[in-house]
């Protein structure tokens, strides 16, 4: 603070409060809608205070889903989302950390070529290769399976870069000492590199958890079986054209359920989240 | 940058890169190669015969007015998303940088939308703006606005822009806040002593120093608007009404999955790949030599 300007500080607080209110408004309305019956919501205007049907709506969607559109229980969809949100970050870290180790700590023919190959994947997001990737998954018989939902998404150039960058900052003396003491490369990797990488991994995990949980296009393409839907896909399928036909109270309860895990991860692990966000982008 | 101390092994490094390379080859290179290959082929109506047609698909694509319209829509959409997202976040970050009391609480309450899936963000806003039951629609009708994004093209665009920006604010906010906190306090103090007011200091010192962050966010937001907003659009307008919100990625999906036009969809994929490569190169050039004011 260079100078004391109480009015400006007041103004800053006001801007932030208005900003937070605008950002939170959709969430509030969603929550309110999830605690009423459909009849209440269809009245115009809908109620602006929470109603008494919270328990009823949430237990209905979790146990048996909606009656129109997607009819699978949301509990199952949440499990599918969780599988994606856990397998993708863990798989990504596992394959990235070893490939970064190879690229940083070994000299071997084709090293640069491999590095280049990994780098190029940055430029091929799922969105630009929708149809052919779908064909590959179909040919491999991986439609409607957890393997199909997760494996194609665990290759990632960003994670490999992040570990590579981090390994570069580790003093050479550590590797030298390990070699002098006769440690094998894998021993050095397990006992020195992995323990040092913990914070990088935590940061990466938070970002990738959200990435995995929020996947949309991919599960949309390869799941046709309702029991394999993720919660995000489930919400989309519950909306059946026409305002009055959609069971909004149940859709909104599902939306709250689908937002809760990643939002909690972001807010509770804020420190790792910010670190992960800033570092994976550089 | 290279390590001075390395390990030696004839087989170990290959074994270590193998899992990543295998997945990359099967799920990235093989499909991308197929997309390029299909873009040179033409399939007959029954999918029985394919023939090599060279660049004909590309000629057809760029002669197609629907595709050109989709290009224009994507440009408008990403410009709106990037500029409004960046402007709003900058205002919020500047305010958050100034306050001391409650800073952590403000930050926590502003970053959670990052965790919301684009498709869910779309559903939330579609509900608020729903033509018959939406609460905002109700208010708009009261003040005399005819609101129905299912039929009105501009309104559909407004809806997807709002939902996309809402989700992206927290991301921009965090980067601007980090950028603001690294502006040297001595510069601000010197300007204050010379009698420059807060607004003047912002425009002549802070904003120019933030230009690397702003440029970085501009690229990231354009990439976001191009690709990640697929969920927002699919959950709300599905490209409608009459293609008014059909961005390029949505068109690839629509033509390939819904209309099963393999050649056309692959050709569009190849065009998108070229765009991604251009954007990635822009981003990396920026990292190499930061944009200076």
Q: Does pLDDT of B290 surpass 70? A: no
Give the three-class secondary structure for A56. helix
Gap between the Cα atoms of B134 and B129, Å rounded:
5
Which residue of A16, A80, A97, A241 to mutate against B (max B Cβ within 10 Å)? A16
CB contact under 8 A, B35 and A217: no
For residue B126, being part of any structural domain is answered with yes
User: What pLDDT was estimated at residue A2?
Assistant: 61
Give the tens place of pLDDT for each residue, B241-250: 888 889 988 9
CB A179 within 8 A of CB B5: yes
Is residue A141 domain-resident?
Answer: yes
Q: At what angle do helices A231-238 and A74-105 cross, to 10 degrees?
A: 140
Count Cβ neighbours within 10 Å for each residue of B93-130 and write b for 16 or more, e otherwise.
Answer: bbbbbbbeeeeeebbebbbbbbbbbbbbbbbbbbbbbb
Minimum Cα–Cα distance from B38: chain A residue: A132
Per-residue tokens: A7? 């009015």
- The structural domain count of chain B equals 1
Q: How many CB atoms lie within 10 A of CB B65?
A: 7
Complex prediction ipTM: 0.88
Phi, psi of B50 (to 5 degrees): -125, 140
The answer to whether residue B38 is domain-embedded is no
How does pLDDT run along chain A (282 residues), one tens digit per residue? Answer: 566 788 888 889 999 999 999 999 999 999 998 888 888 888 877 888 888 888 888 888 888 777 776 777 888 889 999 999 999 999 999 999 999 999 999 988 888 889 888 888 877 777 777 778 888 888 888 888 898 888 888 877 888 888 988 898 889 888 889 888 888 889 999 999 999 999 889 888 998 999 899 988 889 888 888 888 888 888 888 887 666 678 888 888 999 999 999 999 988 888 888 888 877 654
Does residue A45 have a cis bond before it (omega within 30 degrees)? yes
Mutate to test the interface with A, among B4, B5, B20, B276 (most CBs of A within 10 A): B20
pLDDT tens for B153-201 read 888 999 999 999 999 999 999 999 988 988 888 888 898 888 888 888 8
| Residue A251 to residue B19, Cβ atoms within 8 A | no
Residue in A99, A127, A147, A185 to test binding to B, most B beta-carbons within 10 Å: A127
- Whether residues B256 and A130 touch (CB distance < 8 A) is answered with yes
Q: Is the residue at B32 inside a domain?
A: no
φ, ψ of residue A181 in degrees (nearest 5): -75, 0
Q: Does B269 sit within 8 Å of A129, measured CB to CB?
A: yes
Segments forming the whole domain that contains residue B166: 65-288
Q: Minimal Cα distance from A119: which residue of B? A: B24
Going by C-alpha positions, the residue among A2, A38, A4, A146 that lies closest to residue A82 is A146
Residue at A248 is within a domain: yes
Are A179 and B7 within 8 A, CB to CB?
yes
A121 shares contact with chain B (CB less than 8 Å): yes
HSE-CB for B190 with a 13 A CA cutoff: 8
Q: How many domains does chain A have?
A: 1
Q: How far is residue B253 from each of residues A190, A259, B258, measured CA to CA in Å?
A: 43, 25, 7
| pLDDT beyond 50 at B67 | yes
In a domain, B146, yes or no: yes
Residue A32 is assigned to a structural domain of this protein = no
End-to-end CA distance of chain B: 28
* CATH number, residue A124: 1.10.3720.10
A146 touches B: beta carbon within 8 Å = no
- CB contact under 8 Å between A98 and B192, yes or no, is no
Q: Is A15 near chain B, with CB under 8 Å?
A: yes
Residue A6 lies in a domain: no
Burial class (CB in 10 A: 0-12, 13-18, 19+), B142: exposed
A221 in a structural domain: yes
User: What is the CATH classification number for the domain harbouring B157?
Assistant: 1.10.3720.10
- Are the Cβ atoms of A278 and B96 closer than 8 angstroms? no
Q: Which 3 state secondary structure label does DSSP give A50?
A: coil
Distance CA A148, CA A52 (A): 41
Q: Over the stretch B100-122, which tens digit does the pLDDT of each residue have? A: 788 888 888 888 899 999 999 99
- Domain range for A182 is 66-280
In chain A, what residues touch B175 (CB-CB under 8 Å)? 278
Q: Distances from the Cα of B146 to the Cαs of B76, B138, B152, B285, in angstroms?
A: 23, 10, 9, 46
């Amino acid at each position: 603070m260079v100078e004391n300007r109480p009015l400006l500080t007041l103004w800053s607080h006001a801007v932030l409060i208005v900003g937070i209110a605008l950002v939170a408004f959709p969430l509030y309305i969603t929550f309110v809608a999830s605690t009423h019956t459909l009849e209440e919501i269809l009245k115009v205007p809908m109620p602006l205070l929470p109603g008494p049907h919270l328990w009823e709506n949430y237990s209905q969607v979790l146990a048996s889903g909606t009656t129109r559109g997607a009819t699978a229980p949301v509990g199952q969809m949440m499990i599918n989302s969780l599988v994606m949100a856990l397998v993708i970050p863990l798989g990504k870290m596992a394959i990235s950390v070893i490939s970064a180790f190879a690229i940083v700590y070994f000299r071997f023919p084709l090293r640069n070529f491999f590095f280049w190959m990994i780098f190029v994947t940055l430029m091929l997001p799922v969105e630009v290769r929708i149809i052919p990737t779908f064909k590959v998954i179909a040919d491999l018989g991986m439609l409607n399976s957890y393997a199909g939902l997760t494996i194609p998404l665990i290759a990632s150039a960003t994670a490999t870069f992040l570990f590579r960058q981090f390994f570069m900052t580790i003093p050479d003396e550590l590797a030298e000492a390990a070699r002098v003491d006769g440690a094998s490369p894998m021993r050095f990797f397990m006992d020195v590199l992995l323990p040092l990488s913990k914070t990088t991994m935590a940061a990466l995990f938070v970002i990738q958890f959200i990435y995995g949980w929020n996947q949309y296009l991919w599960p949309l393409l390869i799941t046709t079986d309702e029991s394999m839907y993720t919660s995000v896909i489930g919400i989309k399928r519950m909306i059946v054209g026409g305002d009055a036909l959609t069971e909004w109270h149940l859709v909104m309860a599902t939306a709250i359920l689908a937002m809760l895990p990643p939002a909690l991860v972001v807010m509770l692990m804020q420190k790792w989240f910010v670190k992960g966000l800033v570092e994976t982008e550089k | 940058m290279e390590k001075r101390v390395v390990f030696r092994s004839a087989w170990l490094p290959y074994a270590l890169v193998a899992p990543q390379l295998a997945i990359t080859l099967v799920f990235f290179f093989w499909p991308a190669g197929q997309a390029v290959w299909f873009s040179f082929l033409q399939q007959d109506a029954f999918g029985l015969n394919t023939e090599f047609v060279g660049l004909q698909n590309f000629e057809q694509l760029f002669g197609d007015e629907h595709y050109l319209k989709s290009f224009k829509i994507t440009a408008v959409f990403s410009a709106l998303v990037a500029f409004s997202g960046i402007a709003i976040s900058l205002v919020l970050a500047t305010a958050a940088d100034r306050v001391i009391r409650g800073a952590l609480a403000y930050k926590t309450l502003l970053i959670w939308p990052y965790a919301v899936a684009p498709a869910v963000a779309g559903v939330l806003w579609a509900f608020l703006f729903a033509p018959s039951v939406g609460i905002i629609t109700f208010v708009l009708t009261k003040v005399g606005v005819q609101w129905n994004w299912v039929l009105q093209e501009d309104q559909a665009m407004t809806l997807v822009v709002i939902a996309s920006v809402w989700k992206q604010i927290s991301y921009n906010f965090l980067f601007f806040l980090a950028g603001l906190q690294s502006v040297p306090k001595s510069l601000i103090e010197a300007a204050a002593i010379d009698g420059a007011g807060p607004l003047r200091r912002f425009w002549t010192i802070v904003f120019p120093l933030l230009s690397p962050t702003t440029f970085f966010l501009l690229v990231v937001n354009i990439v976001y608007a191009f690709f990640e907003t697929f969920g927002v659009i699919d959950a709300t307008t599905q490209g409608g009404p009459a293609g008014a919100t059909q961005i390029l990625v949505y068109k690839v999906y629509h033509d390939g999955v819904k209309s099963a036009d393999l050649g056309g969809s692959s050709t569009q994929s190849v065009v998108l790949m070229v765009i991604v490569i251009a954007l990635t190169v822009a981003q990396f050039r920026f990292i190499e030599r930061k944009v200076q004011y």
